C-alpha cells in the first residue's frame, strides 16, 4: 500500500487540508473560507471555534475526495500543521472553550500598550530584542495577550487562577485534535514560539525575563518542540476515521514555505505573497541581529538537528489589498481580474497606493501610518489602480531586500516565490523589474502545505523523505526543480514612495 502524508494549512482567511504522495506530489485538497470579525477600525478577530470547524470540514472534505480516487484512508500515515502566526488564542483548561475571540496578527489595537512598554525601557522598542529577536510592535503575541489580560476580566481571572491556556493557532488546533479537555496535548514548535516575544531564540526555551517584562505567568504556555517531531495523535470525535494518526510536523506558515521551497542553504530566500507578504532569508546556525528593521527568527528545526535561523521582512498587506478592491470598493468581481486589469495598463499612470491598512511593517514599523492613494487625475482608470496595487507589494519587497542584502552579507541573486499573488504573471514580472534580480516560481506552488508535510514525513520516514533531514537535503540538492523564471527587463524606480 502506498503511503501518503496530510497537511493542515490554516491561513488568515481560510483553512485547507492537502494530501501529498510519497514523491511530494499533491494528490487532493479541500479549502474553506471562514469568518473574519472587525469590531472596530484596526481590530481583527476570529472565533477559535470557526478556525477549528473549518479545519475539520476541510479534512473530511479532502478525505472523501481521497477515497473517491480509490485510496485507502489507512495509507494516510501522518499529518503536518502550518498556521497563521502570532494570532493569539486563550482558552479554559477545564472546559476547553475559548475565553475570548482570537486576536489576529494584523490587529493594531495594542498601539498604546506597545507605546507603554517601549517607554518603560531605555532601549525603547528594542527592550527584549536581544532575547527574542523581535521589536515590540502590535504584530506579536505577547502584547495581544497583555491586552486581553487588561481588558477581559474572565481572561485575567483565568490567568491568575492558573486555569488559562495560551497558544498560537497551532497550539489551539493540536490541543483539540488530540483530545481537547479529555487529554489534549498543549504544545507548540520553535517557529511559532519565536513569534510570541516570549521565547529566547538562543536557548529555544521560554524566557523568564520576557515573561516578567510582559507580566505573563509561565504555567499558561505550551511546551516548545522542534518543528519535526511527534506532537500527538488524532483523537477527535468528528475525525474518528483518523484516530491514532500522528501529528508529526508543525511550523508557522512562513517557515513552512521556507522548508517547502527547499531553502536549506545559507543565503537562500523565499517570498510568500498571501494575505500579507513575507520574505524569509536563511542565515543557517548564525543568529543575525538586525539594525535595519528586519526580524531575527527561527527558520526551522528538525529533531536532532540544530535550529536554522533566518532574517525576515514582513509586509502587513498584500493579497488583502486585492480583496479590498473586490469586497470594499467593488472595482473587481474576482481577485483574478487584477492580473488582466494591471496588464492592460502600460504603467501606473502616476498612481501610488500605500497599502498601510494595518500600519507599515518591515523595515519601517510604523503602526500609526494609514493607507493612501495619491497621483489620481482625470486620466486615472481602474487599470492604473490595479497596477498600483500590485506595485505596492513589489516596492515594499524591494525595501526589505535592500535591508537583507546589507545585513546578511549574502546579496540575493534569485528570489523564490509562492502564495496567491505569485500566480499573477504581471505581478511577478513587476517584482523582477523592481528588484533587478530573477524571480523563480515553482511549478508546484503549495509550498506552505508541502513544508508542513515535509516536516511530518521526515520524522515518520515516508517516501522521498526516508533517512532523515540530512539525507533528504542531500538528495534534494541533486534534484532539478521545475521553475518558471521572470528575468528583469527594465530598471524600475520608485522604491522611495514608501519612505
Q: Which helix (H) or strand (E) holds 198?
A: none
Q: Is residue 238 part of a domain?
A: yes
Residue whose grid cell is 531605555: 122
Q: How far is CA 21 from CA 5, 78, 241, in A?
A: 6, 12, 19
| pLDDT (0 to 100) of residue 268 | 86
C-alpha closest to that of 81 among 63, 105, 58, 47 = 58
Q: Is residue 46 assigned to a domain?
A: yes
Q: Answer whether residue 242 is part of any domain.
A: yes
Q: Which CB contacts under 8 angstroms, 24+ apart, belong to 461-468?
A: 462/3, 462/5, 462/22, 462/77, 462/78, 463/3, 463/5, 463/21, 463/22, 463/23, 463/24, 464/22, 464/23, 464/24, 468/302, 468/304
Per the domain annotation, does 284 fall within a domain? no
Block residue for cell numbers 532523515: 468
Phi, psi of 298 (to 5 degrees): -85, 130
**DSSP string spanning 371-392?**
-EEE---TT--HHHHHHHHHHH
| Distance, C-alpha 359 to centroid of its chain | 18
- The 10 Å Cβ neighbour count of residue 170 is 31
Q: 437-463 in b/e burial notation, b at 16+ Cβ within 10 A?
A: bbbbbbeebbbbbbbbbbbbbbbbebb
Q: Is residue 412 part of a domain?
A: no
Task: Round to whole Å and give the CA distance between 454 and 448.
Answer: 10
Note the pLDDT of residue 489.
87
CATH no. for residue 47? Answer: 3.30.420.40
How far is CA 290 from each of CA 310, 345, 415, rounded to the nearest angstrom? 11, 38, 20
d(CA 145, CA 110): 10
- Domain region containing 45: 4-254
Rounded alpha-carbon distances, angstroms, from residue 64 to 4, 176, 241, 365, 461: 15, 22, 11, 45, 26
Q: In 115-133, which positions are buried (b, 16+ CB within 10 angstroms) versus exposed (e)?
A: eebbeeeeeebebbbebbb
CA atoms in the 13 A half-sphere facing the CB of 28: 16
Distance CA 182, CA 406 (A): 51
pLDDT in tens, the chain (499 residues): 899 999 999 999 899 999 999 988 999 999 999 999 999 988 999 999 999 999 999 999 999 999 999 999 999 999 999 999 999 999 999 999 999 999 999 898 999 999 999 888 888 888 999 999 999 999 899 999 999 999 999 999 999 999 999 999 999 999 999 999 999 999 999 999 999 999 999 999 999 999 999 999 999 999 999 999 999 999 999 999 999 999 999 999 999 999 998 889 888 889 988 888 888 999 999 998 888 888 899 999 999 999 999 999 888 888 888 888 888 888 888 778 888 888 888 888 899 988 888 788 888 888 788 889 999 898 888 889 889 999 998 999 998 988 888 887 778 888 889 888 888 888 999 999 999 999 988 877 788 999 999 999 999 998 888 888 888 887 766 555 667 889 988 644 443 333 3
Place of cell 493612501: 372
The verdict on residue 498 lying in a domain is no
pLDDT at 474: 75
**Do the domain assignments include residue 286?**
no
User: Does residue 233 form part of some domain?
Assistant: yes
Q: State residue 265's pLDDT score.
A: 87
At residue 361, the 3 state secondary structure works out as: coil
For the chain, the domain total comes to 1
Amino acid at each position: 500500500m502506498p503511503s501518503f502524508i496530510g497537511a493542515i494549512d490554516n491561513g488568515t482567511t481560510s483553512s485547507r487540508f492537502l494530501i501529498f504522495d510519497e514523491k511530494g506530489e499533491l494528490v487532493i485538497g479541500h479549502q474553506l473560507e471562514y469568518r473574519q470579525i472587525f469590531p472596530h477600525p484596526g481590530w481583527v478577530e476570529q472565533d477559535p471555534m470557526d478556525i477549528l470547524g473549518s479545519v475539520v470540514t476541510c479534512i473530511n472534505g479532502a478525505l472523501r475526495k481521497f477515497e473517491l480516487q480509490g485510496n485507502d484512508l489507512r495509507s494516510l500515515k501522518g499529518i503536518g500543521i502550518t498556521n497563521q502566526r502570532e494570532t493569539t488564542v486563550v482558552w479554559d483548561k477545564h472546559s476547553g472553550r475559548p475565553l475570548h475571540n482570537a486576536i489576529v496578527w494584523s490587529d493594531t489595537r495594542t498601539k498604546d500598550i506597545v507605546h507603554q512598554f517601549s517607554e518603560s525601557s531605555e532601549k525603547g522598542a528594542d527592550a527584549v530584542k536581544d532575547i527574542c529577536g523581535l521589536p515590540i510592535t502590535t504584530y506579536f503575541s505577547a502584547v495581544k495577550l497583555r491586552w486581553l489580560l487588561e481588558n477581559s476580566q474572565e481572561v485575567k481571572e483565568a490567568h491568575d487562577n492558573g486555569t488559562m491556556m495560551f497558544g498560537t493557532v497551532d497550539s489551539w488546533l493540536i490541543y483539540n485534535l488530540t483530545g481537547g479537555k479529555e487529554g489534549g496535548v498543549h504544545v507548540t514548535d520553535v517557529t511559532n514560539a519565536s513569534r510570541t516575544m516570549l521565547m529566547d531564540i538562543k536557548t529555544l526555551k521560554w524566557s523568564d525575563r520576557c515573561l516578567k517584562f510582559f507580566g505573563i505567568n509561565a504555567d499558561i504556555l505550551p511546551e516548545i518542540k522542534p518543528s519535526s517531531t511527534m506532537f500527538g495523535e488524532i483523537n477527535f470525535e468528528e475525525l474518528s476515521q483518523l484516530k491514532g494518526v500522528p501529528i508529526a510536523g508543525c511550523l508557522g506558515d512562513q517557515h513552512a514555505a521556507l522548508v517547502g521551497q527547499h531553502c536549506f542553504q545559507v543565503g537562500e530566500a523565499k517570498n510568500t505573497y498571501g494575505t500579507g507578504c513575507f520574505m524569509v532569508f536563511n542565515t543557517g546556525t548564525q543568529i543575525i541581529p538586525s539594525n535595519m528593521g528586519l526580524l531575527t527568527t527561527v527558520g526551522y528545526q528538525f529533531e536532532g538537528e540544530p535550529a536554522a535561523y533566518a532574517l525576515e521582512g514582513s509586509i502587513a498587506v498584500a493579497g488583502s489589498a486585492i480583496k479590498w478592491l473586490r469586497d470594499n470598493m467593488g472595482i473587481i468581481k474576482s481577485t483574478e481580474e487584477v492580473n488582466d486589469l494591471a496588464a492592460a495598463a502600460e504603467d501606473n499612470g502616476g498612481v501610488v497606493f500605500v497599502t498601510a491598512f494595518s500600519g507599515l511593517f518591515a523595515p519601517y514599523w510604523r503602526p500609526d501610518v494609514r493607507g493612501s492613494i495619491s497621483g489620481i487625475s482625470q486620466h486615472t482608470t481602474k487599470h492604473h489602480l490595479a497596477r498600483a496595487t500590485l506595485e505596492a507589494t513589489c516596492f515594499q519587497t524591494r525595501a526589505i531586500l535592500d535591508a537583507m542584502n546589507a545585513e546578511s552579507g549574502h546579496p540575493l541573486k534569485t528570489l523564490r516565490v509562492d502564495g496567491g499573488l505569485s500566480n499573477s504573471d504581471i505581478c511577478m514580472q513587476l517584482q523582477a523589474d523592481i528588484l533587478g534580480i530573477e524571480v523563480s516560481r515553482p511549478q508546484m506552488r503549495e509550498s506552505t502545505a508541502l513544508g508542513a508535510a515535509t516536516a511530518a514525513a521526515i520524522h515518520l520516514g515516508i517516501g522521498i523523505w526516508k533517512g532523515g533531514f540530512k539525507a533528504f537535503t542531500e538528495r534534494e540538492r541533486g534534484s532539478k526543480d521545475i521553475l518558471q523564471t521572470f528575468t528583469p527587463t527594465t530598471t524600475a524606480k520608485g522604491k522611495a514612495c514608501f519612505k
